[in-house]
Structure 1
Amino acid sequence: MDNSNNKNANNDASMVRIHSSAEIGSLDLDYEDQSLVSPESLARKKHSFDEVPHRSLSSGASDHCCPLFMRNSVAESIKIVVFSAKINLLMPFGPLAILVDQFSGHHGWVFFLSLLGIIPLAERLGYATEQLACFTGPTVGGLLNATFGNATELIISIYALRNGMIRVVQQSLLGSILSNMLLVLGCAFLAGGLVYSKREQVFNKGAASVSSGLLLMAVMGLLLPAVLHSTHTELHFGKSELALSRFTSCIMLVAYAAYLVFQLKSQQNLYIPVDEGDSQNEEASEDEEIPEISKWESIIWLSILTAWISILSEYLVDAIEGASVKLNVPVAFISVILLPIVGNAAEHAGAVMFAMKDKIDISLGVAIGSSTQISMFGVPFCVVVGWMIGCPMDLNFQLFETASLFMTVLVVAFMVQEGTSNYFKGLMLILCYVIVAASYFVHVDPKSVEDKPSKPSH
């Protein structure tokens, strides 16, 4: 253990930092600034968004990460995880949603309270993932981040798939991509640009180009089944589209796995600015901190939080259609605009905070990295899960949804190609998101009617 730590300490320039945002940018090692700050702590550390310390996820962590001597009592662990973060004030809304469902059955309130109750759980899930990743090497840490980074969205999607609500799954995943690329990135650019209004903030455009390429690949995977369906050119009507989607999903998962290898092995230092290499060792050692909870505590908390999110997700999914009627809001608007707020709320604030601290690379990694993870891992993963449980989910997101994604990827790709950001670019991205939200507010999705599940009798 000590030899591994010393080796890592002497080779900080090649250490890998892994995102652990409740987001997505969980594996975009490429966007880190000179201090090699771990974006995984962007909204997780120090229990609030006031000050976010950074931690290394290199193999064996560092000399500052001493898990062997950490022992917290049950009360201390609960205090650290549950009572130390201000956002946890929203936790009581979860049990309240269950009570409202049992005694009144008002789907509008159940949906709203479930949304509020899941937000702090998603943030704490990312925090527990970060703590556990400190005890692992980069490869295992990457797997953890891929598994739990977007766990909230995936859990909601799996429950929706079990209920046959394919369109809700497709639109909620699409909404996560759109909100990260337009709203989160736009707010980060705007906030950073206002704070540093006399100059442009600079980030590594090479890193952005890699993620933009992956996003365009995801658009291709979604566009071809939609065009195949719309042009009625399927070889076997009703079957070719689904078969193509499943095959493409497997290819996308392979591409995402290759991307992880590219990030974690081949190109560890590709995105580290050249002029920052000399100061990495000193800054990295200053930024390291001891984990606040032990490995087994992290595992236990991951299990508890995942189970609690699963319970609330079931109430949330069951209340979607009723909430749509009660609130007079289209299901498409709820799925694309409202649901993504649940899993992304914590990292939104973190991305903005880092932009205001002139660490725009991390904000970019969170926004585009999370979109990359959802599009290249989340979407094909749900197709494969649907395949396993007999639910015919495909990559045909329909032309309206696919067109909105395609235009979003193009807009963001043009915005980041220069490697600079300012408040005007941020404002344009936010206004683009407002246009998208307004479009879905007046969009009637005819296919969602076909996916209405038969309600079991209680």
Structure 2
Amino acid sequence: MMESHQIEMGAFKANGPQVPNGGLSSVVQTWSLQRPVERVLQSIRTVIFTSKLNLLLPFGPATIILYYTTRMHGLIFLFSMLGITPLAERLGYATEQLAIYTGPTLGGLLNATFGNATEMIIAIYALKNGMIRVVQQSLLGSILSNMLLVVGCAFFAGGIVHRNKDQVFSKATAVVNSGLLLMAVMGLMFPAVLHFTHSEVKQGASEVALSRFSSCVMLVAYASYLYFQLSGRNNSYSQIGSEEVPNEDTTEEDEETEISMWEAITWLAVLTIWISVLSEYLVNAIEGASDSLNLPVAFISVILLPIVGNAAEHASAIMFAMKDKLDITLGVAIGSSTQISMFVIPFCVVVGWMMGQKMDLNFQLFETATLFITVLVVAFMLQDGIANYLKGLMLILCYLIVAASFFVHVDPQSSDD
């Protein structure tokens, strides 16, 4: 009797629970596979399909197809520009999402690093191809575009929306950024003056050596400024390139996370790689596009290329100005110009040094004078801490003058050599 009872219990243990356990494990396995798939699809939906600019994404693959099937350099250049524009905007979005998780300190560094990633990638590819003038002019164009066009459009749009009052912003931030930009102008001016006065000790070698030394000094100055900003010593300065809202204006919608931290990191890697691929085709098509479109290389480099890299800054700066948050607008636009002049340009000189390319800070007299006058005009506009649509219109018109100047400008490099 006891033995038969044990046999029945053993049979129940051996056979009875197997069916439920097997069914449960298959359900758990299916559920565990389904969750990551749903997560990935949700992330793709959030990043790819929420921005209207992403309608331009097909131009990326079309660029590669055109490059290998035709010799239409003008079309390849145009398609690569259109393909990179939404990627630059999404790169800014992914950086903002990651900055929410990392907090303001590391978030400021992330924005400083990835805010101008597109310009840096294009510059490094051009540097690798020995196109030093394209590197110089495209970075100069990014500074001019941010300071005149982006700030001008932001002031103009904000002034129209808030036409009944003057918008105000932190004068302390504007003064410090203006000072750093003037320091950058000084770093660019001395190699150019040394070259054009023919007063260097060793012709050609001295200006390169001076440029490399000045670049190292500018990088130290930029690192010191970042430390000063992020150490929290003085809360009256907003973080360079940070698109976060100051403490008093922080709202829930600005802090809302739409993707997880690891998703943001993954998207940063994917977007950076894809921008790198398209940048190579963009750089390779510049000279052919100049011939086919009958446009000077200087105009393409200074005016057209920065439109690609500044798409994200342009949109977000205008949006924040319309919300009457001009401190963030200046953090985006003027902060981006400061990053390029104090970090990206010296960084490219150091990278060129490692590559064996004679990248220097001699931006030629025309470009250096343009930058110097632009910094003075913008510093004068920002000195009172007040913005309105008239100032915005004046900055936009100044940018049109600069664009027209580069349209009729011929690069004197060949005659100098």
- TM-score with structure 1 setting the length: 0.79
2:228 corresponds in structure 1 to 262
CA contact (8 A) 1:167 1:448 kept: no
- Which residue, out of 190, 205, 230, partners 2:156? 190
2:183 corresponds in structure 1 to 217
- Which residue, out of 130, 143, 157, partners 1:177? 143
Q: Please identify, of 314-323 and 230-239, the stretch whose mean Cα deviation from structure 2 is larger.
A: 230-239
Structure 2 residue runs of 5 or longer lacking an equivalent are: 1-35, 239-245
1:391 corresponds in structure 2 to 357
Q: What is the distance in 2 between the residues matched to 1:375 and 1:216?
A: 10
Q: What is the distance in 2 between the residues matched to 1:268 and 1:126?
A: 26
Amino acid at match of 2:231: K
1:416 aligns with 2:387: no
Amino acid at match of 1:386: G
> Per the alignment, do residues 134 and 245 of structure 1 end up closer, same or farther by CA in structure 2, a change over 3 Å counting?
same
Offset of residue 281 of structure 1: 6.9
CA contact (8 A) 2:170 2:236 kept: no
2:8 corresponds in structure 1 to none
> Per the alignment, do residues 267 and 295 of structure 1 end up closer, same or farther by CA in structure 2, a change over 3 Å counting?
same
- Which residue, out of 89, 92, 95, partners 1:126? 92
Q: What is the distance in 1 between the residues matched to 2:65 and 2:253?
A: 44
Per-residue CA deviation, residues 320-358 of structure 1 (Å, 9 max, x unaligned), is: 000000000000000000000001112212211221222
Amino acid at match of 1:431: L
SS in 2 for 1:208: helix
Q: What is the aligned length?
A: 376
Offset of residue 408 of structure 1: 0.1
- Which residue, out of 355, 372, 387, partners 2:321? 355
> Per the alignment, do residues 227 and 214 of structure 1 end up closer, same or farther by CA in structure 2, a change over 3 Å counting?
same
Offset of residue 119 of structure 1: 0.4
Offset of residue 288 of structure 1: 5.7
> Per the alignment, do residues 281 and 295 of structure 1 end up closer, same or farther by CA in structure 2, a change over 3 Å counting?
closer
Q: What is the distance in 2 between the residues matched to 1:259 and 1:281?
A: 21
Larger radius of gyration: 2
2:203 corresponds in structure 1 to 237
1:75 corresponds in structure 2 to 41
> Per the alignment, do residues 78 and 266 of structure 1 end up closer, same or farther by CA in structure 2, a change over 3 Å counting?
closer
As a proportion of its length, which structure holds more helix? 2
- Which residue, out of 336, 359, 362, partners 2:302? 336
2:9 corresponds in structure 1 to none
- Which residue, out of 400, 406, 409, partners 1:443? 409
Per-residue CA deviation, residues 172-228 of structure 1 (Å, 9 max, x unaligned), is: 000000000000111111111122223211111111000000000000000000000
> Per the alignment, do residues 97 and 450 of structure 1 end up closer, same or farther by CA in structure 2, a change over 3 Å counting?
farther
Amino acid at match of 2:195: H
Q: What is the distance in 2 between the residues matched to 1:196 and 1:186?
A: 15
Offset of residue 450 of structure 1: 8.9
Offset of residue 104 of structure 1: 1.2
1:167 corresponds in structure 2 to 133
Offset of residue 103 of structure 1: 1.1
- Which residue, out of 398, 402, 408, partners 1:432? 398
SS in 2 for 1:292: coil
Q: What is the distance in 1 between the residues matched to 2:62 and 2:321?
A: 35
> Per the alignment, do residues 253 and 90 of structure 1 end up closer, same or farther by CA in structure 2, a change over 3 Å counting?
same
Q: What is the distance in 2 between the residues matched to 1:80 and 1:87?
A: 13
Q: Percent identity?
A: 71
CA contact (8 A) 2:167 2:324 kept: yes
Q: What is the distance in 1 between the residues matched to 2:46 and 2:256?
A: 14
Per-residue CA deviation, residues 342-393 of structure 1 (Å, 9 max, x unaligned), is: 0111221221122122222221221111110110011001111111111110
Amino acid at match of 1:82: I
> Per the alignment, do residues 421 and 281 of structure 1 end up closer, same or farther by CA in structure 2, a change over 3 Å counting?
closer
2:340 corresponds in structure 1 to 374
Per-residue CA deviation, residues 292-333 of structure 1 (Å, 9 max, x unaligned), is: 222222221111111100010000000000000000000000
CA contact (8 A) 2:100 2:255 kept: no
CA contact (8 A) 1:174 1:405 kept: yes
> Per the alignment, do residues 201 and 285 of structure 1 end up closer, same or farther by CA in structure 2, a change over 3 Å counting?
closer
> Per the alignment, do residues 127 and 378 of structure 1 end up closer, same or farther by CA in structure 2, a change over 3 Å counting?
same
SS in 1 for 2:285: helix
Offset of residue 284 of structure 1: 3.2
Per-residue CA deviation, residues 244-277 of structure 1 (Å, 9 max, x unaligned), is: 10010011011001111111114341248xxxxx
Q: What is the distance in 2 between the residues matched to 1:288 and 1:349?
A: 16
1:407 corresponds in structure 2 to 373
Q: What is the distance in 2 between the residues matched to 1:448 and 1:124?
A: 39
1:315 corresponds in structure 2 to 281
Amino acid at match of 2:212: R
2:26 corresponds in structure 1 to none
Q: Please identify, of 303-312 and 197-206, the stretch whose mean Cα deviation from structure 2 is larger.
A: 197-206
CA contact (8 A) 1:222 1:402 kept: yes
Offset of residue 282 of structure 1: 8.1
Q: What is the distance in 2 between the residues matched to 1:219 and 1:72?
A: 51
1:249 aligns with 2:230: no
> Per the alignment, do residues 418 and 236 of structure 1 end up closer, same or farther by CA in structure 2, a change over 3 Å counting?
same
- Which residue, out of 269, 274, 297, partners 2:263? 297
> Per the alignment, do residues 71 and 208 of structure 1 end up closer, same or farther by CA in structure 2, a change over 3 Å counting?
farther
Matches within 5 A, 1:148-167: 148-167=114-133
